[in-house]
């Protein structure tokens, strides 16, 4: 079997790995590359292989950096099956439509200027119509149920505990008279996260391809993270400002809402209104409600014990869908919490809230997720001042904080213990590290190699092709 690493190599976006097994091609994930606009657009538009030659896609989870380039793949001629858990399929449906909407808006904005300059307008990467041709290709598969993808390739999804429906993919391969197992971790979650079950592992793995997003860092515990959220709310409330939480609409938003709900029930949240200003978050929350098969015991027990209590909402919380209602939030004078996408401040309504509040020293911006290089979120965390928002420059007078404990990604210790658990029940020959910026993969490689007695660790570059065989 050959693996060619086409994305999320020494970086965290655009996850995409091409497998060649018995002469047939299977893609693991087909994510959107994010970062520098022009470069990302070119990479996303020009797939490095013939789309019609791909037999199937195995999708690990719905996050756009894993699923977001499926419309380009289908547009370029792919017509095979896209395998995913049913929760991933449902989430991907709402997320891809949203992503197309962003692509269309982005281009419309640029084209306004280009047309004024007499230049030819750009085409969006893909449109909502393209997304509609992706959806019929999905085939739902459930956790822990092996299925045949191609002759000689049986796949099995196990819970990755990262977002609703997220999976690691176990591949049992039969090629040239040999049988071996490859495990793709997908994005690995954390033990003890609310709502989701803990990440699962399997044994008998010969080759492991694993993520390393936080390979060089340790997170707060989920309890410390809850306390950071309480303190941020309290501080902002006391100075009469707004607490802005840029948040992935899917996963993180539901987790933050669940925590705010708990704080509210405990009487630990100041008396302030909470707005989830994202139609995508509202839609994704509906998908969460439809998939209790993915929930952990804590939330299932809560639902049984208090059937009237909504874990994704409470009396002071409102989901904002319409643009008008979103604009009304600008006129709020009392302290409030506004949760809005995108999580890295690259697009979406959060930009308007930042624009309106960033020069007010009473405002607090609380980051609860990973901020990739070259994003506005990273610039704010790095202390850049002023910052560009929607084409204008703004002074940063707001307080910028971060609460790492909300990460849906395992930290260094958690990644190590996950890999060790796999290794104890296997005899892994090589580990390939992907989905981490350079310092993260290097740090994790060192730790893994030290703790696992010199097991070979490789960090592929984009385009590297590696032969896996016994
Ligand atoms: Zn993810």
Cα-Cα-Cα-Cα dihedral of 388, 255, 161, 58, to 10°? -50
> Mean pLDDT across the stretch 247-272?
91
Which class for 132: exposed (0-12), middle (13-18), buried (19 or more C-beta within 10 A)?
middle
**What pLDDT was estimated at residue 131?**
97
Last residue of a domain, one of 406, 422, 439: 406
Distance 186 CA to ligand 1 centre (A): 8
Last residue of a domain, one of 355, 379, 406: 406
**What pLDDT was estimated at residue 378?**
95
Q: Is 251 left (phi over 0), alpha (psi -120 to 50) or beta?
A: left
Show the beta-strand stretches assigned E in 231-309. Answer: 242-246, 273-277
Whether residue 118 sits in one domain with residue 259: no
**What pLDDT was estimated at residue 469?**
86
Q: Is the pLDDT of residue 35 over 80?
A: no
Are 126 and 71 contacting, i.e. CB atoms less than 8 angstroms apart?
yes
Q: What residues make up the domain containing 92?
A: 2-217+409-467
Residues 155-164 pLDDT 10s: 999 999 999 9
Are 403 and 44 contacting, i.e. CB atoms less than 8 angstroms apart?
no
The 3-class secondary structure across 113-180, one letter per residue, is HHHHCCCCCCCCCCCHHHHHHHHHHEEECCECCCEEEECCEEEEEEECCCCCCCEEEEEEEEECCEEE
pTM for the complete prediction? 0.89
Distance 130 CA to ligand 1 centre (A): 23
Helix (H) or strand (E) holding 314: none
- The per-residue b/e assignment along 4-29, b for 16 or more CB within 10 angstroms, e otherwise, is bbbbbbbbbbbbbbbbbbeebbbbbb
**What pLDDT was estimated at residue 369?**
87
Whether residue 6 sits in one domain with residue 73: yes
Distance 247 CA to ligand 1 centre (A): 13
Whether residue 98 sits in one domain with residue 244: no
Which residues are close to ligand 1, an ion, with C-beta < 5 A? 63, 187
Q: Is 421 left (phi over 0), alpha (psi -120 to 50) or beta?
A: alpha
**What pLDDT was estimated at residue 430?**
97
Residues 221-238 pLDDT 10s: 888 999 999 999 999 999
Rounded Cα distance, 409 and 420, in Å: 17
Q: Is the pLDDT of residue 129 over 80?
A: yes
Whether residue 289 sits in one domain with residue 169: no
Whether residue 462 sits in one domain with residue 370: no
Q: Confidence band (pLDDT; 50, 70, 90) for 412?
A: very high
**What pLDDT was estimated at residue 374?**
87
Whether residue 33 sits in one domain with residue 133: yes
Whether residue 459 sits in one domain with residue 340: no
Distance 200 CA to ligand 1 centre (A): 16
SS percent in the chain: helix, strand, coil, step 5: 35, 25, 40
Whether residue 138 sits in one domain with residue 250: no
Distance 111 CA to ligand 1 centre (A): 31
Q: Confidence band (pLDDT; 50, 70, 90) for 312?
A: confident
**What pLDDT was estimated at residue 392?**
93
How many domains does the chain contain in total?
2
Are 207 and 182 contacting, i.e. CB atoms less than 8 angstroms apart?
yes
Rounded to 5 degrees, φ, ψ at 426 are -145, -175
Distance 222 CA to ligand 1 centre (A): 18
Rounded Cα distance, 386 and 201, in Å: 45
Whether residue 303 sits in one domain with residue 164: no
Distance 69 CA to ligand 1 centre (A): 14
Residues 413-460 pLDDT 10s: 999 999 999 999 998 999 999 999 999 999 999 999 999 988 999 999
Last residue of a domain, one of 406, 428, 458: 406
Distance 190 CA to ligand 1 centre (A): 12
Whether residue 119 sits in one domain with residue 205: yes
Residue-averaged pLDDT of the chain: 94
CATH number of the domain encompassing residue 460: 3.60.15.10
**What pLDDT was estimated at residue 36?**
78
Distance 211 CA to ligand 1 centre (A): 10
Helix (H) or strand (E) holding 27: strand 24-28
Whether residue 101 sits in one domain with residue 208: yes
> Mean pLDDT across the stretch 161-181?
96
Rounded Cα distance, 318 and 301, in Å: 25
Closest CA to 364 of 332, 391, 339: 339
Are 169 and 188 contacting, i.e. CB atoms less than 8 angstroms apart?
no
Distance 66 CA to ligand 1 centre (A): 7
CATH number of the domain encompassing residue 320: 3.40.50.10890
Distance 393 CA to ligand 1 centre (A): 31
Which class for 45: exposed (0-12), middle (13-18), buried (19 or more C-beta within 10 A)?
middle
Residues 38-94 pLDDT 10s: 888 899 999 999 999 999 999 999 999 999 999 999 999 999 999 999 999 999 999
Q: Tell me which residue has tokens 């019929």.
A: 136
Whether residue 160 sits in one domain with residue 308: no
């Amino acid at each position: 079997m050959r693996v060619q690493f086409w994305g999320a190599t020494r970086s965290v976006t655009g996850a995409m790995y091409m497998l060649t097994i018995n002469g047939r091609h299977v893609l693991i994930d087909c994510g959107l590359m994010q970062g520098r606009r022009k470069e990302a657009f070119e990479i996303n538009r020009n797939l490095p292989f013939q789309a019609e030659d791909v037999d199937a896609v195995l999708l690990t989870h719905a996050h756009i950096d894993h699923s977001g380039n499926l419309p380009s793949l289908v547009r370029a001629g792919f017509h095979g099956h896209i395998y995913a858990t049913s929760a991933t399929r449902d989430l991907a449906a709402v997320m891809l439509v949203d992503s197309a909407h962003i692509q269309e808006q982005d281009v419309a904005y640029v084209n306004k200027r280009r047309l004024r300059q007499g230049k030819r307008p750009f085409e969006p990467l893909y449109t909502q119509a393209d997304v509609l041709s992706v959806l019929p290709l999905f085939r739902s598969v459930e956790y822990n149920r092996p299925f045949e993808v191609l002759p000689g390739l049986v796949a099995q999804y196990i819970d990755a505990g990262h977002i609703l429906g997220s999976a690691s993919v176990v591949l049992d391969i039969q090629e040239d008279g040999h049988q071996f197992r490859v495990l793709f971790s997908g994005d690995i979650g954390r033990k003890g996260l609310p709502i989701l079950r803990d990440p699962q592992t399997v044994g008998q793995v010969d080759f492991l391809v694993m993520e390393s997003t936080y390979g060089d860092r340790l997170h707060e515990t989920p309890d410390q993270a809850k306390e950071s959220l309480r303190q941020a709310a309290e501080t902002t409330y006391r100075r009469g400002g707004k607490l802005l939480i840029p948040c992935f609409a899917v996963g993180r938003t539901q987790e933050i809402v669940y925590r705010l709900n708990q704080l509210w029930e405990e009487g630990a949240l100041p008396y302030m209104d909470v707005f989830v200003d994202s139609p995508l978050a509202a839609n994704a929350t509906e998908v969460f409600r439809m998939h209790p098969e993915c929930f952990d015991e804590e939330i299932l027990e809560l639902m049984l014990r208090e059937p009237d209590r909504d874990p994704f909402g409470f009396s002071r919380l409102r989901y904002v869908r319409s643009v008008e209602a979103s604009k009304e939030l600008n006129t709020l004078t009392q302290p409030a919490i506004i949760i809005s996408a995108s999580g890295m401040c690259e697009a979406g309504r959060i930009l308007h809230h930042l624009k309106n509040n960033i020069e007010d020293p009473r405002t607090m911006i609380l980051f609860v997720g990973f901020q990739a290089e070259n994003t506005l979120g990273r610039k704010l965390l790095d202390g850049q001042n002023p910052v560009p928002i929607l084409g204008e420059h703004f002074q940063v007078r707001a307080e910028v904080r971060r609460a790492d404990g909300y990460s849906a990604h395992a930290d260094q210790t958690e990644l190590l213990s996950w890999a060790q658990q796999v290794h104890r029940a296997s005899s892994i020959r090589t580990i390939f590290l992907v989905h981490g910026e350079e310092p993260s993969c290097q740090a994790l490689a060192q730790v893994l190699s030290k703790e696992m007695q010199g097991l070979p660790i490789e960090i592929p570059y984009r385009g590297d092709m590696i032969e896996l065989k016994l």
